Amino acid sequence: MNDAQFWRLIDVLRARTDPAAVELLITELTALSDPDLEAFATHLAKAVHDLDSEALFAQPVDTDEFTPEDVDEDLFVAVRCAVVAAGRAAYEVAQEDPGELSRRHDWQIADAESILQAADWAYERRTGQSWTFAPDWETETSDKPAGPVTPPFEADASEWIDVDYHFDADEIADLSDDESWFGPMFGTGLDLTQQLLADTTLRQQYAALGVRTVSITVHFLSAGDEAPKRVKRRADAVEITVGRHLSVAVATSPQLRQWMDAYLRDSLTLGLGRLAARRSSPGR
């Protein structure tokens, strides 16, 4: 895939990043072969990466969605995605003249970061499987010079796992105000993470696949919500995103610890399986 082909696909968005626009892009991407889908994801990651400059970050962003003081390092990823979504001409102007970012007030920022997941969703829709490909370009905001991602420094073995929780279900999120539940639950999560950190068998299994650090993101969902199940690898780090349906009855029961331990270990097993399958796949 060359630059022209990449930007023709971006043009499907018509400078929009709302769910309907991203759905149009996903539909186009489902028709691509695996190599072309990987090439698209790589072009996109590099385009977003190449906008990661102090000059652009310093520009005030004033739109219907955001005011200048809203934009921090996390939101700057979405800002850069919005610039890419605006098309090749807008992208090249902003790259050459960062002031363009503040002159225009029609950037669609709020949902812009979702375009980075479009290829993942297209692959999963076409194959029914999670996509494990990760481009060799970092998209997070940093002060690193432009260039491909380089392997991180050796991580402390005692910190090889990180777990983050998101309360997507309203009924569960409401419980977070109840210290009688949320405090013990939070403590249980920390305790279980410490147990996993000490599990040398799991760590060695990941190390055998060239992985040093694993990040698990768990979404607590209501029954019926679609549960994500993704495994992404970048250099020697792996990101596992999963969803679990959690009821108030389980959240407030003595079985919560056993339930949490099971899904954390299931998540790590999922990661090992996906990575091993990718390694053994022909042409990979």
Q: Between these two residues, 59 and 178, which has the higher pLDDT value?
A: 59
The edge-to-edge listing of strands for the beta sheet with 161-167 is 161-167, 213-221, 237-245, 229-234
- 235-276, pLDDT tens digit by residue? 678 888 888 888 778 877 888 889 889 989 999 998 888 877
Measured CA to CA, the distance from residue 218 to residue 263 in angstroms comes to 9
218 contacts 267 by C-beta, under 8 angstroms? yes
User: Which runs of consecutive H residues, i.e. helices, occur in the chain?
Assistant: 3-10, 19-29, 34-50, 54-57, 73-85, 88-96, 100-103, 118-127, 170-175, 179-197, 200-208, 248-251, 256-280
Number of H helices, E strands in the chain: 13, 4
Average pLDDT of the residues in 123-132: 85
- 12-21, pLDDT tens digit by residue? 999 999 999 9
Name the band, by pLDDT with cuts 50, 70 and 90, for residue 90: very high
Q: Between these two residues, 208 and 222, which has the higher pLDDT value?
A: 208
pLDDT score at 158: 61
CA distance from start to end of the chain: 18
Structure tokens at 216: 């698990």
Choose from 9-23, 170-184, 185-199 the range with maximum mean pLDDT.
Answer: 9-23
Q: By percentage, how much of the chain surpasses pLDDT 70?
A: 84
Asked if pLDDT for residue 6 goes beyond 90, the answer is yes
**Domain residue spans of the chain:** 3-127, 157-280
Low-confidence winner among 51-55, 101-105, 224-228 (lowest mean pLDDT): 224-228
22 contacts 124 by C-beta, under 8 angstroms? no
